[in-house]
Amino acid sequence: MNTRKLIVPVLVAGLIFSIVLAPGLAAQKDKQEAKPQASQRVFIPKEIKAILDEGLTSRQGRQDIPFNIFRTTFLPAQTAFYEVFFLKIKNGDLGYAPAVASQIPAVDAAAAPATAKLKAGFNVFLQFRKMENNLPTQIVKEVYIPASVEADSEGYDPNKEDVYSVGYALFPGNYLLAMAMTSLDLKKIGTQYFEFTLPDVKNLSKELDITPIFLSKDQKDLSTPETVASLHKGCFMYSVRQITPNLDNTIGVGELLDVFYYVIGAQSIDPKQPNERPTWNIEVQYEVTKGKEPAIRFQPANYDNPLVSHPLPMKQTLIIKDGDKERTETRDLGAGNYTLNLKITDKISGNSCTKNFDFTVK
């Protein structure tokens, strides 16, 4: 079976990933948390913080700008994890207006009328708190994201709901995200609260785990990495890699099932030369079932990297009986609801885990 291995992005300071979660994570975490908060810089205006505090206990959000955090995933980021939040927002709630000539790049201004594009500008504020005994406690990070998005004026539908993403790197632990989205003048505000947990690799000495599986529609590398938190429409950034996810977990008949995940807790072999990377020896057995019935069983896939991006062909090999004769025939997996079952084994440590992922073929 052909295996596509994900090209490892360049390690960049801040939120960009390293494949290794270092054994010294606890010491680095304590050192990091001992630092004073960023020189008392103000990331969230006091009036917005007051509104976030109001809904902290009840988790009741403001709805001037309605939005919904409907899904998350996380990926390695040096000694931490990069948590990605996926949001749904209606066009009409973002205040789209015709872009003026000064907002259109000079190279395009002559070719397109000023009304060809609609533009919306707004603020996004992230406040991360620790969760202890199921209660939000100290603030560990505050983030301000100036957001600007565009839409084509032709066919614009104010009721259309688009998917957006925002990500940030944090150490393992239990967190509450208090998120606010406001108009530029801070008069309109929407808030949401979302609890999440980032696992500690130290607790996986005798077992494996994986990050939440998601399907990839498209991936491409950009010339520069993302080093500050930003809001993205229809995709998310991970270092230099721009990923367009398939968050419906639905593919068409004949399409590939491109799974993306990271194996947590696998042991690596140290490089022999200074300029070499560590290597892993991970085996994954994939099987597709429909209910309890087997549909596709793949040959074991082997990876020398715990970050996996693998397009699986949804093809069935069937035995066709024609009288006394039998023949095999390969067909596309038919429409229906299926489960991808994974048995993941670290060939170095011998540790393993089993996971499953539901998807639909239409």
The arithmetic mean of pLDDT across residues 245-249, rounded, is 97
Per DSSP bridges, beta strands 325-332 and 315-322 are: antiparallel
Q: Which residues contact 239 (CB under 8 A, 6 or more apart)?
A: 9, 10, 12, 16, 17, 225, 226
Residue of 188 and 329 predicted with greater confidence: 188
pLDDT at 17 over 80: no
In this prediction, residue 273 carries a pLDDT of 78
Alpha carbons 13 and 11: distance in angstroms, whole number: 7
Residue 13: pLDDT band (50, 70, 90) is: very low
Residue 115: pLDDT band (50, 70, 90) is: low
pLDDT at 295 over 70: yes
Mean pLDDT of the chain: 86
In this prediction, residue 164 carries a pLDDT of 98
The arithmetic mean of pLDDT across residues 282-311, rounded, is 96
Angle CA 63–64–65, to nearest 5: 85
In this prediction, residue 113 carries a pLDDT of 52
pLDDT at 229 over 90: yes
DSSP 279: B
Residue 354: pLDDT band (50, 70, 90) is: very high
pLDDT at 93 over 60: yes
Q: Which of 93-97, 222-226, 242-246, 310-314 has the lowest mean pLDDT?
A: 222-226
Residue type for position 240: V
Radius of gyration of the chain (CA): 23
Asked if 239 and 10 touch (Cβ cutoff 8 Å), the reply is: yes
Q: Which of 69-73, 214-218, 232-236, 316-320 has the lowest mean pLDDT?
A: 316-320
In this prediction, residue 203 carries a pLDDT of 81
Alpha carbons 264 and 261: distance in angstroms, whole number: 10
Share of the chain above pLDDT 70, in %: 85
10 Å Cβ neighbour count for 123?
21
In this prediction, residue 287 carries a pLDDT of 98
Share of the chain above pLDDT 90, in %: 72
Domain ranges for the chain? 9-247, 264-362
The arithmetic mean of pLDDT across residues 76-81, rounded, is 89
Annotation: CATH topology of 264-362: Immunoglobulin-like (2.60.40)
pLDDT at 338 over 90: yes
Annotation: CATH topology of 9-247: Immunoglobulin-like (2.60.40)
> For residue 55, which of 173, 190, 168, 231 has the smallest C-alpha distance?
190
pLDDT at 99 over 50: yes
In this prediction, residue 23 carries a pLDDT of 26
The arithmetic mean of pLDDT across residues 119-126, rounded, is 97
In this prediction, residue 236 carries a pLDDT of 97
Domains 9-247 and 264-362 agree in fold: yes
pTM of the model: 0.83
Residue 319: pLDDT band (50, 70, 90) is: confident
- pLDDT one-digit tens code per residue, 126-159: 999 999 999 999 999 999 999 999 999 999 999 9
Alpha carbons 362 and 252: distance in angstroms, whole number: 5
DSSP 234: S
In this prediction, residue 116 carries a pLDDT of 82
pLDDT at 27 over 50: no
The arithmetic mean of pLDDT across residues 82-86, rounded, is 97
Alpha carbons 258 and 250: distance in angstroms, whole number: 11
